[in-house]
Amino acid sequence: MEKTKEMRRKIEDLRRSLYDLIGQNNKLVAAEVVFVSQELDKVLNEYDMIIKTQIA
């Protein structure tokens, strides 16, 4: 359960970073925006796998 809490915190941090970067760059294809978006995708996928294993 602690792992999911930590993952949710990380997801929210990455989302905030992504929103901030988009606001600063105003370009969705800026290298930093793409990098943070990809990191968020990885964390979301990992979180999804954890949740699925807890439910099963």
- The boundaries of the domain holding residue 10 are 2-55
Number of domains in the chain: 1
Q: For residue 28, what pLDDT is reported?
A: 84
Q: For residue 3, what pLDDT is reported?
A: 87
Q: For residue 55, what pLDDT is reported?
A: 85
Instruction: Report whether 11 contacts 40 (CB < 8 A).
Output: yes
Q: What is the block-wise mean pLDDT of the chain (56 residues), using blocks of 10 residues?
A: 90 97 88 96 96 86
Instruction: Report whether 4 contacts 47 (CB < 8 A).
Output: yes
Q: For residue 8, what pLDDT is reported?
A: 96
